[in-house]
Amino acid sequence: MKKAVILVGGKQYLVSEKETLRVDLLPAGTKELETSALLVIDGDKTTVGTPEVKGVKVSAKVVEEKVAGDKVRVIRYHSKKRVHKETGHRQKYSVIEIVSIK
């Protein structure tokens, strides 16, 4: 099975064909994504790019947009002051499916 390391949104992901993964929210209206590979693993053969492997393209399609992640709770507390503040944050993600590694 062929695997590749791709760069999406400033982060690197190890992917294979027909795999779905959650990446940072992509710009609105993005339906397809085509990126180059930084590293390709094909069986026992590994090809490392400088910085990209020439001639290898990874294509993906966006399955879902604006998927909310887990809530992160942040508590700010000052001892002996009777002050505390609690806030929360839910990061938005896009779910993509890797179509092919060519």
Give pLDDT tens digits for 48-80: 999 999 999 999 999 999 999 999 999 999 999
Q: How many domains does the chain have?
A: 1
Query: What's the pLDDT score for residue 2?
Result: 94
Checking if the pLDDT of 1 tops 90, the result is no
* DSSP code, position 102: -
Rounded CA gap, 33 and 47, in Å? 22
The 10 Å CB-count burial string (b at 16+, else e) for 44-71 is: eeeeeeeeebeebebebebeebeeeeee
Q: Domain containing 84: what range?
A: 2-101
Average pLDDT, the chain: 96
